[in-house]
């Protein structure tokens, strides 16, 4: 990619996960300095080092997105060390259980709401003043086709991802007058760690639902993120961009 984002500072939450890591690397390749935040920083530190080797500024910070005070402290550190935040990619999420409604554990339900939805709210609200001051900003929230189609046995996950879509559309309306574009990326079946841990039979069933009859790659999601973060997408806000291989289509 050309340096679409040179001079910009991006924050990627959940950056120790595979999708967050690839997003961070793609943003750096496009010219951005990148902050990688996660509750566990081992993977984030490694990715941050790779980005610095590329010649970009990068730091990894420990941040629990469910804790408003930690988010506030993290944003203050980023501003001190890198100057500002221009791009936020809310990638922190949980996807580690499947339960039909009568088996849904209340603790998991509450945790998923805190991480997936409230975490997105905390981070978006924390960076808003930076973007408003500069009259330029990009917030890219990661949802899922589970948020648009539902997900069998995924009550908490699909509910939070649907909530992210409504939240982002509201941000888009409120941010337009400040030059803050807010959009949603909805991955479908992506060849990441979450997909590889499910059974081969289930993987094959999911693949057959896509129009392409194959999973996407993390880079497919990252390319969409970089586009939405750039001025190439300056007249795009409030959209839900499916990176899903057509899984939402009626396939035979």
With vertex at residue 25, the alpha carbon angle to CA 22 and CA 30, rounded to the nearest 5 degrees, is 125
157 belongs to the catalytic site: yes
Q: Is 11 helix (H, G, I), strand (E, B) or coil?
A: strand
The three-state secondary structure class of 153 is: coil
187-215: b (≥16 Cβ within 10 Å) or e: bbbbbbeebeeeeeeebeeebebbeeeeb
Q: How far apart are CA 132 and CA 115, in angstroms?
A: 25
110-135 burial, b for 16+ CB within 10 Å, e for fewer? Answer: ebbbbbbbbbbbbbbebbbebbbeee
- What are 129's strand-pairing partners? none
Q: Active-site residue numbers? A: 157
């Amino acid at each position: 990619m050309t340096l679409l984002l040179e001079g910009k500072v991006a924050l990627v939450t959940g950056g120790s996960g595979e999708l967050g890591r690839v997003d961070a690397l793609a943003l750096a390749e496009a010219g951005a300095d990148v902050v990688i935040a996660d509750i566990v920083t081992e993977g984030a530190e490694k990715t941050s080092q790779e980005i610095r080797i590329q010649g970009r500024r990068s730091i990894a910070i420990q941040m629990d997105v469910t804790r408003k005070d930690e988010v506030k402290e993290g944003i203050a550190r980023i501003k001190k060390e890198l100057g500002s935040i221009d791009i936020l990619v809310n990638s922190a999420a949980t996807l580690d259980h499947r339960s039909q409604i009568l088996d849904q554990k209340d603790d998991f339900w509450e945790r998923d709401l805190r991480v997936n939805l409230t975490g997105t709210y905390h981070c978006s609200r924390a960076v808003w003043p930076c973007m408003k001051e500069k009259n330029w900003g990009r917030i890219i929230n990661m949802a899922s086709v589970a948020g648009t189609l539902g997900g069998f046995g995924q009550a908490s996950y699909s509910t939070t991802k649907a909530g992210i879509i409504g939240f982002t559309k509201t941000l888009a309306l409120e941010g337009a007058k400040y030059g803050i574009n807010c959009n949603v990326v909805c991955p479908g079946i992506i060849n990441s760690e979450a997909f590889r841990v499910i059974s081969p039979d289930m993987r094959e069933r999911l693949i057959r639902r896509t129009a392409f009859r194959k999973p996407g790659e993390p880079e497919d999601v990252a390319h969409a993120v970089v586009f939405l973060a750039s001025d190439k997408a300056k007249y795009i806000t409030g959209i839900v961009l499916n990176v899903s291989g057509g899984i939402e289509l009626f396939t035979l």
